[in-house]
A = this chain, B = another copy of it.
Amino acid sequence: MIQSVDRAVAVLLELQGARRLRLTELANRLSLPNSTVHGIVATLVTRGMVEQDASGRYALGPGVLRLSNVYLDSNELRLRALTWTEALAERSGCAVRVGVPLERDIVVIHHVLRPDGSHQMREIGIDIPAHGTALGKAVLAFDTRRATELLATAPLPKLTGRTCVDGDELAEQLAGVRDDGIATAFDEAILGESELAAPIFDAHDAVVGAVGVVLSSSEATGDRMIGDEVRRTAVSISRELGASAWPPRSRPPKAPGD
């Protein structure tokens, strides 16, 4: 761990959260001297990762956009998911999202809009606390380390009145995901939106993300057909990534005695 590199990332993450900050505000949030933060910010400005606006406040710069474009273009999970998610959206009539875990969140890396032509925002790049979305539960069910760390901090933050924030209840839900391969969330991140999602595994049989549909909660009548479609999509993408079985037979991949 190189301290100044870690601090540079911390600067970027503060700007991600606050959008625009003066030098002193940045320094206060990071509990660092102005001069230290100034050196970091000046370096990041030179590289276009940060820019200074007309009022002198710092914000993220166009350099981060260029990086993200390459991330999306070269992410294997996303590439493998493209055709399968398109087909899932058509068959289910729902919006489809693919997400990957990042710390305690799920970041949406692919989004196929609901095929009804209604006005919708593209959600690529948004992050959602993992425990509040079916995509996150699908990942947590098969990522023991991540789930243990998260459950250790329960009660978790509430996103809506219906977010499951109780550790025991969430652990039980995750066991259910391991049983039938489908994670659900009803009104847990956004009121009126429900989700079904299934985990995606790679050639090492490790969970690398999840694919799921979003439907309005009034439509979410426990339709088994859609669950089957979501599961089949996750199986197809996992197979393309080299997974040997779905879900993998041994969990964790290198359990004692394997």
Contact = CB atoms under 8 A, between A and B. Distances in A.
A64 interface: yes
Contact of A43 (B6, B43, B47, B60): B6
A39 B71 contact: no
Nearest to A43: B5
Nearest to A107: B62
Max chain B C-beta neighbours (<10 A), residue from A65, A68, A102, A202: A65
Interface residues of A, number: 56
A61 B103 CA distance: 12
B2 A54 contact: no
A54 B109 contact: no
Contacts of A67: 12, 16, 60, 64, 67-68
B103 A48 contact: yes
Contacts of A40: 2, 5
Contacts of A204: 54
Contacts of A9: 8, 43-44, 47, 49, 63
Interface string A69-88: 11111111000000000000
A20 interface: yes
Interface string A85-117: 000000000000000101100010100000000
A53 interface: yes
Contacts of A43: 1-2, 5-6, 9
11 contacts: A1-B43, A6-B43, A6-B46, A9-B49, A20-B74, A60-B67, A60-B70, A60-B71, A60-B74, A65-B109, A67-B67
Interface of A: 1-2, 4-9, 12-13, 15-16, 19-20, 39-40, 42-44, 46-49, 53-54, 59-76, 100, 102-103, 107, 109, 124-127, 202-204, 242
Given A4-B4, A4-B5, 17 more contacts: A1-B42, A2-B4, A8-B9, A48-B102, A48-B103, A59-B71, A59-B74, A59-B75, A61-B71, A61-B102, A62-B71, A62-B107, A65-B68, A65-B72, A66-B107, A66-B125, A68-B68
